[in-house]
Structure formats: structure tokens, C-alpha cells
Amino acid sequence: MKQKDLKDQSIAIFHSSDQLTELPYYPYSQWLKAHYGEKVYKIPINAAGTCPNRDGKIGYGGCIFCGAFGGGNETLRGSINISEQLEINKAYIGKRYHARKFIPFLQDFSNTYLPFDQFKKNIAACLGNDVVGIAISTRPDCVTNQQIDWLKDFKQQHHIDIVIELGLQSANAHSLQKLNRGHGLADYIDAALRIKSAGLQLCTHMILDLPWDDDLDIIEGAKLLSVVKNDFVKCHSLYIEKGTELAKMIASKEVHLLSLETYLHRAKLFLGYLDPKIALQRIIGRAPKRDSILTNWNTSWWKIRDRLVDEMTEVGLKQGDLLKIDREKLSDCMK
């Protein structure tokens, strides 16, 4: 879909839809405030894990974009255990942001890819009187029924929310192969359905400017995440971390990064086709300068966010508007 097509479709929606909220998408901060009644902060936790496409079970080297810390660039390093990391971060974040409630986030690598007893210990170490939920980052092919059943009971026993964050990145099976993900689309759908059927929350990570994807892949990704009833989504750009396979591919000109304008175009498409009940935890990700060669076109994430909001507001586009049009067309065809 071209920029002109997107603008033409959304102008008609602007005049018939409800008054625009402060943002044209559903921000996670708003969900947290509505759900818990106050500010809640996620705390990154390093559980010293790995992934099956790193240790040789299904491959080596990991995803081509994944750096040395497996996505957990801002977690505490060294021999600090989970409970100590939690207390250190709570003390810092609580004082700085006046927060009283927290969600520990097992962030780096695949946090369900480990022996079951260790998995249970890691989750239990995240508990606390001021902890209202636990977020667990992992891969679609590393979530077992045993883990899901245990998490369901754990949630009910401790009266906290459990969120499983799945890295998908693309709805295109060929792109997943290029990324060296080591899993397919069916693995994601299977894991997502099992997670949701157990009453757990689901968050999916997507990279919106993969050079092997096109607009249809972006639309299909948003529709897929909507169909499997995600609670949350995180959007990222394809930034380059030091020492990664992607860095080598960029240096050899095997891969060329797409422009910021393309990212913004795809983000508008993605949000337009995303169910408006899904909260956005991130509109664009980021990596520390010390670990990266290039992140977000050397532009602050909030500047990109503001530009996206301005462009969506200009054409009157809100999250889910284009999905609504598709569903109305289908409904008309069935009459």
C-alpha cells in the first residue's frame, strides 16, 4: 500500500470516528494506569540464559541482529542474582520515578529455555509485595505445556499477572529464515494460542523495517497479532549491534538498511491494522550507543515517536482504523 492510499483511506475515517485521544495509538502507560490504578515500572532482569540457535541445539550464532547480551543491554551484569537485581533496580527506579509497583522483566535471551526446576526458581525469585506482574521474554518454540500449566497455577496462587513476550519479528517465513530465527510462523501461532488459552498475557515483538519484508508482510503481521489476541506489542527498527552477523552483512553490503521514512510508513500501516485493544509497549526500540554501530538512524526514539504521532494525526489515522475497514468489507460480502 502506498503513502497516498493510506492517506486517502484514513481521511474518511477521521470525520466519522470518535474524537482523537492524546495519542493515535493505545500506549502501555495508559493500560498500566487503568489496570493497576497507578504508575507501574518494568524492571529488566538478567537470568544468564541462552537460546537454542546459539548453543547448537538448532543452530549457532543466534539471530543475526542479536548482540552479546541477547537483548538485555540495560540489565545488571556480573554474579548478581535475580532477587538482588530486583531490589537494586526497585530502589533506583522507585526513588527516581516515585514508583511503588513493579513488573520484573526477565529480558535477555530465551527465559523458558532452561531446566524446569531452574525456570521455577527464576520466576519465584521475582516475587515481592510490590510486584504486580512478571514478564518473561522467550522464543515461540521454547514454551512448553508444563511451563504454561505451572505459570497458570502460579498466577492464581500469587494473584499477579504473567506476561510471556514472544520474539516473532516478522510474519514472513522467508524473513525469519534470513534472520536465523530457527522457528517458523506455525511455532508462533501454536505458542500464542496455548498462552492465551491458559489465561496468561501475551506480548509480541516485531521489527517493522526488515529489508526482506514488504507492506503486505507488515499488514499480515498486524492482522496475525490481532487474531491471536495479543495484549501488548513491541515494535522495533533493525538497529546494528557490534559484533553481530548483521554488522558483518551491512559492512559487506550484503544487506542495506531501510530509511526512517520507510519505518514511519510501515509503522502507520502496522498500527492501522492492529486491534485497538492491544497496548503498545514500544513504538520503536533502542540500544545503548556503547553496544551499537547504528540505532534508529542516529535519531532519538522520542523524536521518531513524535513524528509518527504527527503524521498519523495529520491524516486522521488511529490504531485499528484500517483493520475496521477490512472487517466491514468482509461483513458486507457475507450479507
**Cβ atoms 224, 274 nearer than 8 A:** no
Helix (H, G, I), strand (E, B) or coil at 198: coil
Helix (H, G, I), strand (E, B) or coil at 91: helix
Predicted pLDDT at 301? 94
Please list the residues that pair with 162 across neighbouring strands: 134
* DSSP per-residue codes, 49-68: ---TTTBSSS-BS--TT--T
What residues contact residue 322 under an 8 Å CB cut-off, 6+ apart? 6, 9, 10, 219, 269, 272, 273
State how far the Cα of 266 lies from the Cα of 13, in Å rounded to an integer: 19
Predicted pLDDT at 8? 38
Report the candidate in 215, 259, 311, 223 with the shortest Cα–Cα distance to residue 1.
Answer: 215
Helix (H, G, I), strand (E, B) or coil at 183: coil
Element (H, E) at 322: helix 321-333
Locus of grid cell 507501574: 40
Predicted pLDDT at 237? 96
Per-residue pLDDT reduced to its tens digit, 187-236: 999 999 999 999 999 999 999 999 999 999 999 999 999 999 999 999 99
C-alpha to C-alpha distances, 130 to 82, 101, 166, 200, nearest whole angstrom: 15, 5, 25, 20
Predicted pLDDT at 75? 62
State how far the Cα of 96 lies from the Cα of 279, in Å rounded to an integer: 25
Helix (H, G, I), strand (E, B) or coil at 172: coil
Q: Which domains does the chain have, with CATH numbers?
A: 28-332 (3.30.750.200)
Q: What ranges make up the beta strands (E) of 179-321?
A: 201-207, 232-236, 240-241, 279-282, 292-294
**pLDDT tens, the chain, 335 aa long:** 444 444 433 333 333 333 335 899 999 999 999 999 999 999 999 988 899 999 999 999 899 998 755 555 566 666 579 999 999 999 988 889 888 999 999 998 899 999 999 999 999 999 999 999 999 999 999 999 999 999 999 999 999 999 999 999 999 999 999 999 999 999 999 999 999 999 999 999 999 999 999 999 999 999 999 999 999 999 999 999 999 999 999 999 999 999 999 999 999 999 999 999 999 999 998 887 888 899 999 999 999 999 999 999 999 999 999 999 988 876 666 66
Predicted pLDDT at 73? 55
Predicted pLDDT at 209? 97
What residues contact residue 12 under an 8 Å CB cut-off, 6+ apart? none
pTM value > 0.75: yes
Locus of grid cell 537485581: 85
Helix (H, G, I), strand (E, B) or coil at 313: helix
Instruction: Give me the count of residues in the chain.
Output: 335
Predicted pLDDT at 17? 34
Per-residue pLDDT reduced to its tens digit, 46-83: 988 899 999 999 999 899 998 755 555 566 666 579 99
Predicted pLDDT at 292? 85
* Torsion from C-alpha of 77, 305, 139, 253, nearest 10 degrees: -90
In this structure, the strands spanning 232-236 and 240-241 are: unpaired
Residues 306, 311, 317, 323: is their CA dihedral positive or negative? negative
